[in-house]
Amino acid sequence: MASVKVISLLIKTLSKPLANRIKTSAQEHPKFRKMCVSLAQSVHRHETRLSSGIFSKVKPIVRPLSETKAIQNGANFLSEAFVFSVALSLIVGENLRGRIKTASRRDAINDRLNDIEINLDSLKEDNRIVKERLTDLISAHESQVQRRQSILREHEAGTEEVDRSLLSSLSDGELNLDRKLNTIADKYPSQTRLV
């Protein structure tokens, strides 16, 4: 950026000697001199009409410039026009360069945004797949838990039935044992008293 400004300053600086060269060649060459005279006379007419036409209603009479004055004014006009065109072209060039730089920056940002959107879409897809897997794992775990709970309930039901049958067997066995002891005691009264 600094180099562009240095170059534009150099071009502006070099345009002034070129403008002076145009001024001297306008006074020396006959074709250039003729062009300068016609240009200076035309500028003088328009300038006089504008300045006097604004303040008065009467159409002004424009006297032509002398040839030396016309050559000098025409050469000055051409040299100033050259300096102005150089400055204008530098401004337009700087503006175009800025637009190109802005456009390239905008394109780079758009490319980065597109990459981010692609990555975001990929992450969303990965997230969806992980959610599906997690849902599958949760449902498999829940079915496994339900299966284990049903096995546990069956086991508990079986254990309760075994406990009941054991208790009933024990109760029946005690009753049978009591009956047998009573029967033995009746048959052998003397021996049962010792026991």
pLDDT at 190: 57
Please state the pTM of the whole predicted model.
0.51
Domain-wise residue ranges, the chain = 2-121
pLDDT at 170: 62
Report whether pLDDT(25) > 60. yes
Q: Are 18 and 82 in contact (CB under 8 A)?
A: yes
Helices (H) and strands (E) in the chain, counts: 4, 0
Q: Which of 27-36, 51-60, 80-89, 97-106 has the lowest mean pLDDT?
A: 51-60
At which residue do the structure tokens 């050559």 appear?
71
Taking the C-alpha atoms of residue 14 and residue 63, their distance in angstroms, rounded to an integer, is: 37
Taking the C-alpha atoms of residue 178 and residue 186, their distance in angstroms, rounded to an integer, is: 12
Query: Tens of pLDDT along 91-148?
Result: 888 889 899 999 999 999 999 999 999 999 999 999 999 999 999 999 999 999 999 9
Report whether pLDDT(192) > 50. no
3-class DSSP assignment, residue 135: helix
Taking the C-alpha atoms of residue 119 and residue 112, their distance in angstroms, rounded to an integer, is: 10
Residue 126 backbone dihedrals phi, psi, to 5 degrees = -60, -40
Give every CB contact of residue 70 below 8 A, 6+ residues apart in sequence. Answer: 36, 37, 40, 41, 44, 64
Provide the terminal-to-terminal Cα distance of the chain, rounded to the nearest Å: 124
One DSSP character per residue, 177-189 reads: HHHHHHHHHHH-H
Q: Are 17 and 23 in contact (CB under 8 A)?
A: no
pLDDT at 84: 85
Report whether pLDDT(36) > 70. yes
The mean pLDDT value for 163-181 works out to 63
pLDDT at 165: 65
51's enclosing H/E stretch is: helix 30-55
pLDDT at 195: 44
